[in-house]
Structure 1
Amino acid sequence: MFNINEIDKEIDSPLCQEANLFLSGYQKIYSPHSARVKQQALSQLIVYLKEREIDAWPECDERVLREYLIFKAKGDRRKQRERLSSASLETHLAALRIFFTYLLEKEIVTYNPARLISPPKKAERLPKVVEAELLKTILDRPPEDLLEKRDLAILELLYSSGLRLAEVAALNLQHLDLNEHLVRVIDGKGGKDRLVPVGQVALIAIKEWLSIRQEWLSAASLLDRDDEALFISQKGGRLSDRQISRRVKRYAEQSGVNINLHPHLLRHSMATHILESSQDIRLVQELLGHADISTTQVYTHLNFNHLAKVFDAAHPRAKRKKESDK
């Protein structure tokens, strides 16, 4: 159950009531990750409004909201309050827009002040990518124990199917179709389900993990075990996002590769490598679960060097002369 006081028990404001009602309905439709983002955005706004003695949502107009976002953008080192990046501010503002739309529909406010504020411009950053050969070094290393067999299954699935971290953590055994080589992603970003293919190597790693998983569940107490979760700890509980991230990073470190490997980096790498091989941006869009192809198009920038090499090799007027021909 997501509510404002779950984050800060000290928050005591009339504003919490509508925020909690909104979160209660929102979490029934969208993913836990998405609900958590809205919860954090609202709790931070309510703390700010309470300090300024604002205790009714209609009082949070465009001016107040704009001042709040400036406050979040500046940060304060003395109070150990980090400034939000442009990307974080955009996410923050998007969450508030959804909430004020809810208030508008309930006729608690007369307009949506968040709609009148443009998100800050953010510098376009290309996602980092790990070279295929480097990933091969990591993934080809034999697991040293049962924990690493589980971790390898996670890495192979992340790289094979390009799932988000939260999507992997939320996977249940029933979402996996070993016969059809598919995994069903439930309530992905935007609350949309999708079917994603799983590669042969990833399937082998997952099958090895499933026998270990059953042993761990059998040994776990009824209170700790999660019979539905695909990836569990030795105690039988579902792995959290943080636990998965730590294990992914550790597996790479144990492989002797000097990179900070994390799940999203594997997702970016998968998308780039698929695009290099297929030149099919629509395919990559479907695999990643992007609603808008403009989100996927960032990978076309990453793919430029590869395309240039293909062009040089394939076009009769672009082939580069060998040193001996000069």
Structure 2
Amino acid sequence: MSDAPDSKLAWIDAYLAHLQRERQLSPHTCAAYARDLQALAALTGASAWPQLDHHAVRRLTAKLHAQELDPRSIARKLSSWRGFFRWLGEQMPLAANPVQGVRAPKRAKTLPRALSVDDAVQLVAPSRPAAGNGDDPAALCNRAMFELLYSSGLRVSELAGLDLTPSKQALGWVDLGNREVTVTGKGNKRRTVPVGAAALDALHAWLALRPAPTDGGDALFLSSRGTRVSPRVIQQRLRQHGVAHGAPVQVHPHMLRHSFASHVLQSSGDLRAVQEMLGHASISSTQVYTALDFQHLAEVYDKAHPRAKVK
């Protein structure tokens, strides 16, 4: 294959075929690589791939930053470009990987959004049923899912992956007798987390009316078709539930996870315990909730202390 400028897209196509065939990446991931590499081809114009050097990539990175592209998006592009040139160096002579050592601009650290204790409890608590809807399986399923998200700080994928009973194939399950839930989180690591009394009550109510899955599976939570509920459906149901119940912000499952972590830390001050329950590999990932905890204390101080407000 020629390395002339008009073959740049052909090299991209060959790399994408390699990702699909050899590395067996998903179509979604390959599509993301394609977008990033096509953007690089457009940014570099007529220059052939071997002509691109470290300084050119740094200039491109600065240009993307000047266009106010999110630092996370820039970091993803650099990762895609770096992998492409690593592979290209095996196909043709390159002086060096021009992306190696180039970093995206630092992104401002944003605190995760958590609900207040009152807002979280009102959101997941059982609402007064409308006439004839007290035994609606869909409403009971939703309540059990939302209570469990907040009770145990689960990721939405972990919630969707729960089975009714434990097995070698199961990603997770709820042990009602021991009041705990076992899930498989990031890095294929399993953890067991306590389940609160309100979530247990909601689970019992749901299981009393849970229909048999239409696919013959063992999924704990079901869609309207009787199959395992997907993370996307859980997100949609929680968002609609939040709007219907007047939540102060648009609610998503990870906000309930943040709320769980923040509220447990506020009450206990035990950062290590919160780390274990969230399944964080590093304590640094959990330390962000100390900032939320301080933020909560500062709000209490501002409201309560007679000298807090500037006159």
Fold match (TM-score > 0.5)? yes
Structure 2 CA distance, aligned partners of 1:192 and 1:257? Answer: 33
Unaligned ranges ≥5, structure 1: 1-10, 28-34, 76-82, 312-318
Q: 1:251 to 1:294 in 2, by over 3 A?
A: same
**1:32 corresponding residue in structure 2:** none
Confirm whether residue 47 of structure 1 aligns to residue 44 of structure 2: no
Matches within 5 A, 1:83-232: 84-93=69-78, 99=83, 103=87, 107=90, 113-142=98-127, 144=133, 145-173=136-164, 174=166, 175-178=172-175, 179-186=177-184, 188-213=185-210, 215-217=211-213, 220=214, 225=215, 227-232=217-222
Is the Cα–Cα contact under 8 Å of residues 229 and 238 in structure 1 kept in the other structure? Answer: yes
Structure 2 CA distance, aligned partners of 1:198 and 1:85? Answer: 38
Structure 2 CA distance, aligned partners of 1:293 and 1:302? Answer: 15
Matches within 5 A, 1:258-273: 258-273=248-263
- Displacement of 1:160 in angstroms is 1.3
- SS of structure 2 residue aligned to 1:269: helix
- SS of structure 2 residue aligned to 1:121: coil
**2:238 corresponding residue in structure 1:** 248
**2:8 corresponding residue in structure 1:** none
Confirm whether residue 290 of structure 1 aligns to residue 275 of structure 2: no
**1:18 corresponding residue in structure 2:** 18
Is the Cα–Cα contact under 8 Å of residues 41 and 92 in structure 1 kept in the other structure? Answer: no
- Displacement of 1:95 in angstroms is 6.2
Deviation string 1:64-96 (CA, Å, 9 cap, x unpaired) is 655665676567xxxxxxx74223433554566
Amino acid of the residue matched to residue 189 of structure 2? K
Deviation string 1:234-253 (CA, Å, 9 cap, x unpaired) is 21233222211110111222
Structure 1 CA distance, aligned partners of 2:99 and 2:216? Answer: 40
- Displacement of 1:18 in angstroms is 1.9
- SS of structure 2 residue aligned to 1:116: coil
Structure 1 CA distance, aligned partners of 2:99 and 2:192? Answer: 34
Amino acid of the residue matched to residue 41 of structure 1? A
Structure 1 CA distance, aligned partners of 2:41 and 2:80? Answer: 19
Q: 1:264 to 1:208 in 2, by over 3 A?
A: same
Amino acid of the residue matched to residue 279 of structure 1? G
Deviation string 1:41-84 (CA, Å, 9 cap, x unpaired) is 31222333565699x98787646655665676567xxxxxxx74
Identity %: 36
- Displacement of 1:272 in angstroms is 0.5
Instruction: Indicate the structure (1 or 2) with the bigger Cα radius of gyration.
Output: 2
Structure 2 CA distance, aligned partners of 1:255 and 1:241? Answer: 21
Structure 2 CA distance, aligned partners of 1:261 and 1:18? Answer: 40
Q: 1:123 to 1:12 in 2, by over 3 A?
A: closer
Unaligned ranges ≥5, structure 2: 1-10, 167-171
- SS of structure 2 residue aligned to 1:231: coil
Deviation string 1:149-182 (CA, Å, 9 cap, x unpaired) is 1111111111112122233233333321313333
- SS of structure 2 residue aligned to 1:303: helix
- SS of structure 1 residue aligned to 2:243: helix
